[in-house]
Amino acid sequence: MPHLATGDAGAVELDLIPAHLIVPRLRRLAMGAVGVGVVVGLIVGLFAGPGVGLLVAAIIALPTAVSALLASRRRMWMCGTVIHAHSGVRTKSVDVAHAVTAELIVRSGRVSQVALQVGDGKRQVAVPLALYTDDGGRELEVLPLRALADGLVSGELAPAVAMSAALIGQLRCEARGAGLEERPLYRAVRLARDANRIPRTVLTDDEVVRISE
């Protein structure tokens, strides 16, 4: 992970899906794209010449391979109150203690996502908090949720404080092994679906408070 590789003290990973689970698949995807491009390029090259074959191979292989390799380098982590998001090319940082916007975004579909979007007036970062399907899901682990909650409550922005309360509620549900229906993040998805606010919606401050109750 960028920066973390140098040993940042107290850095907390915010990746919803750990790198060790997704990176091998993305690398296989990149290698597969290159393999298909080479095969098709060779076939085309036999009929249209090496130059055309090479061009076709590049058109087929490069977009998928480059996208997969960049995706494999994406990381998100938190140091103190600062969230760092590495896109594969550059790193964007936002100090949540100085946030001017804090929103809970819900994308609803076959796989529904809940994300925290925080901005400082110049930059924004979106931290995926949970993914849900009809029969289960994946939620951000306890340590990163705690770090986000502490960072959000350290500022003076009222929506950020409300968001912190929702994350604390999520942590309490996790601690007692509560079912999905009791968890604030899943309740955010249900709220969006029940109101037919799909495929994307931003919860109001009142709704964030409601899912935390």
pLDDT surpassing 70 at residue 133: yes
Average pLDDT, the chain: 87
39-47 mean pLDDT: 87
pLDDT in the model for residue 87: 81
pLDDT in the model for residue 3: 45
Can you point out the beta strands (E) in the chain?
12-13, 75-79, 82-86, 91-95, 101-107, 112-119, 124-133, 136-139, 200-202
What's the pLDDT band for 6 if we cut at 50, 70, 90?
very low
pLDDT tens sequence across 16-33: 887 666 667 767 877 888
3-state SS class at 138 = strand
pLDDT in the model for residue 7: 43
pLDDT tens sequence across 150-194: 999 998 899 999 999 999 999 999 999 989 999 999 999 999 999
37 backbone dihedrals φ, ψ, rounded to 5° = -60, -40
pLDDT in the model for residue 8: 57
Q: What is the pTM of this model?
A: 0.79
Q: DSSP assignment, residue 88?
A: S
* Separation of alpha carbons 41 and 56, rounded Å: 5
Contact by Cβ (8 Å): 144, 78: yes
pLDDT in the model for residue 65: 75
* Separation of alpha carbons 109 and 80, rounded Å: 34
Which tokens belong to 112? 């529904």
Q: Which residues contact 102 (CB under 8 A, 6 or more apart)?
A: 96, 116, 117, 118, 119, 152, 157, 159, 160, 163
Residue 63 exposure: Cα atoms within 13 Å on the Cβ side: 4
* b/e per residue 91-118 (b: at least 16 CB within 10 A): eeebbbbebeebbbbbbbeeebbbbbbb
97-115 mean pLDDT: 94
Q: Return the residue matching tokens 């494999």.
A: 72
35-63 mean pLDDT: 86
pLDDT surpassing 90 at residue 62: no
pLDDT tens sequence across 137-154: 899 999 999 999 999 999
